[in-house]
Structure 1
Amino acid sequence: MPAGYHHLEVRRRLGRGRDDFRRFGDAVLAYRMQRGLGLLADAQTLRAEPGARVTVRLGIGRFGVLAPCRVVYVLDEEDRRGFAYGTLPGHPESGEELFAVEYDPATAAVYGVVTAFSRPAAWYTRLGGPVARAAQRLAAEAYLVTLRRLPSEP
């Protein structure tokens, strides 16, 4: 991760076996974590694709802001699936966030992973400092809890 940014990594066990890996991987690629938390305002595609615009709503009520992003890459590997989006002008942060599922062939464990590098891009996120960082960590944890609780079908 690049220097000069706040770094975040949250990794939690979600399940076990290839079926769980496929199910959770499909959910990540279909933006179901963002939808499950009610944060997805708009997505240009039904599934994450490089170049697709995604807009999430951050905050609460009238204090919420629309945060535009663009999918920068998609992972569709034997043991890793997910996508990352980078922020666009108008987003309160500058950086990238990865949402992924990993399969450990040695144990058959399935993990959800959220990693990010970011720094403030708006006056209010600069002012928020440690509170904004804590909110980002809580959001990452909530993404993974939401993913774990999703039913098999959309």
Structure 2
Amino acid sequence: MSSLTYPDHLKLVTLGLAKGQAPSEFGLDDSWAITDHSAVLGHGTECFSAAATRLTDWRAHEHAGVKVSREGLLVRLTFGPTMSPCLILHEESTPDRHVLVYGTLPGHVECGEEAFIIDLADSGEVTGRCVAFSQHSWWLARLGSPVAHAVQKWATRRYVEGMRPK
């Protein structure tokens, strides 16, 4: 399988960013865009379970217009005319936390990593979150950088909204 398109020392950095560590602690300078969006999805264990299912079966991605196919740890994300391969780096499922992290592979329009986190707080509040760091790797994305960043932020918000049980 192909290797990640970003430096090895950055593998799973999204989890550190989610814990509140500064990008500079990992060597992420201003050339990397950091995206972090979270929202309260609801309340209770039923909400948590449903949100985790929506992430696991890719409905959160579908909510953002991204079609997903998965074969083992390889994930192919199709958005518009692009197909972007990723490698699943981490999956975690506990009674109060569900996490999925994937990193980009050659051919992805971006270079970086994205983490999807669903937490069930002691209060019963369920929160969905998406944390990413990235650089444009596709020439068209680099050319239209402001538009590409806007699309990425839009998709991130849609991913989190897509975690919300219906």
- Whether contact under 8 Å (1:37, 1:146) holds in the other structure is yes
Match of 1:53 in 2: 74
Question: How far apart are residue 21 of structure 1 and its match?
Answer: 0.9
Q: Deviations over 1:97-123 (max 9, x none)?
A: 111211111x21101101100001121
Q: Deviations over 1:68-121 (max 9, x none)?
A: 11111012134220201111000010001111211111x211011011000011
Query: Aligned pair in 2 of structure 1 residues 37, 8: CA closer, same or farther (>3 Å)?
Result: closer
Q: Which amino acid aligns with 1:66?
A: M
Match of 1:139 in 2: 155
1-side partners of 2:56 and 2:162: how far apart?
A: 14
**In the alignment, structure 1 residue 66 sits paired with structure 2 residue 75:** no
- SS at structure 1 position matched to 2:88: strand
- SS at structure 2 position matched to 1:115: strand
**In the alignment, structure 1 residue 39 sits paired with structure 2 residue 75:** no
Query: Aligned pair in 2 of structure 1 residues 27, 41: CA closer, same or farther (>3 Å)?
Result: closer
- SS at structure 2 position matched to 1:113: strand
Q: Which moved more, 1:123-132 or 1:10-19?
A: 123-132
- Whether contact under 8 Å (1:54, 1:68) holds in the other structure is yes
1-side partners of 2:152 and 2:65: how far apart?
A: 16
TM-score by length of 1: 0.82
The ranges of structure 1 where at least 4 consecutive aligned residues each deviate by more than 4 angstroms after the TM superposition are: none
Q: Which moved more, 1:110-119 or 1:76-85?
A: 76-85
Structure 2 gaps of 5+ residues are 1-22
Match of 1:48 in 2: none
Q: Which amino acid aligns with 1:144?
A: V
Q: Indicate which of 4, 22, 41 corresponds to 1:14.
A: 41
TM-score by length of 2: 0.76
| Higher RCO structure, 1 or 2 (CA under 8 Å, sep 6+) | 2
Q: Which moved more, 1:87-96 or 1:31-40?
A: 31-40
Query: Aligned pair in 2 of structure 1 residues 41, 103: CA closer, same or farther (>3 Å)?
Result: closer
1:77-92 → structure 2 map (5 Å cutoff)? 77-92=94-109
Question: How far apart are residue 38 of structure 1 and its match?
Answer: 4.1
Q: Which amino acid aligns with 1:65?
A: T
Q: How well do the aligned residues superpose, as a CA RMSD in angstroms?
A: 1.7
Q: Which amino acid aligns with 1:39?
A: V
